[in-house]
Amino acid sequence: MYYTGYMVSGDLMKEARLRAGLTQTQLADRLGKAQSVIARWERDEVSPSLETLREVVRACDLELTFFMSRFDDSNFTVIDQNLRMTPAQRFDALKVRVRSQRRRVQRTSVQRD
CATH number at 24 reads 1.10.260.40
**Domain contains 65:** no
pTM comes to 0.58
**Domain contains 70:** no
Mean pLDDT (the chain) is 89
Q: Domain limits at 38? A: 9-59
55 and 91 assigned to the same domain: no
Q: Evaluate whether 102 touches 22 at the Cβ level (below 8 Å).
A: no
Residue by residue, what is the 3-state secondary structure of 70-90? Answer: CCCCCCHHHHHHHHHCCHHHH
pLDDT band at 74 (very low <50, low <70, confident <90, very high): confident
Residue 111 has pLDDT above 90, yes or no: no
C-alpha 24/C-alpha 37 separation (Å) is: 9
49 and 84 assigned to the same domain: no
For residues 11-15, average pLDDT: 93
**Domain contains 21:** yes
For residues 66-90, average pLDDT: 87
- What is the predicted pLDDT for the residue at 71? 81
**Domain contains 69:** no
Please state the domain count of the chain: 2
**Domain contains 87:** yes
C-alpha 64/C-alpha 50 separation (Å) is: 10
Residue 1 has pLDDT above 60, yes or no: no
C-alpha 1/C-alpha 38 separation (Å) is: 28
Lowest mean pLDDT among 7-16, 24-33, 51-60: 7-16
**Domain contains 66:** no
**Domain contains 36:** yes
Start-to-end Cα distance in the chain = 48
15 and 53 assigned to the same domain: yes
For residues 71-98, average pLDDT: 89
Residue 44 DSSP one-character state = T
**Domain contains 92:** yes
Residue 113 has pLDDT above 70, yes or no: no
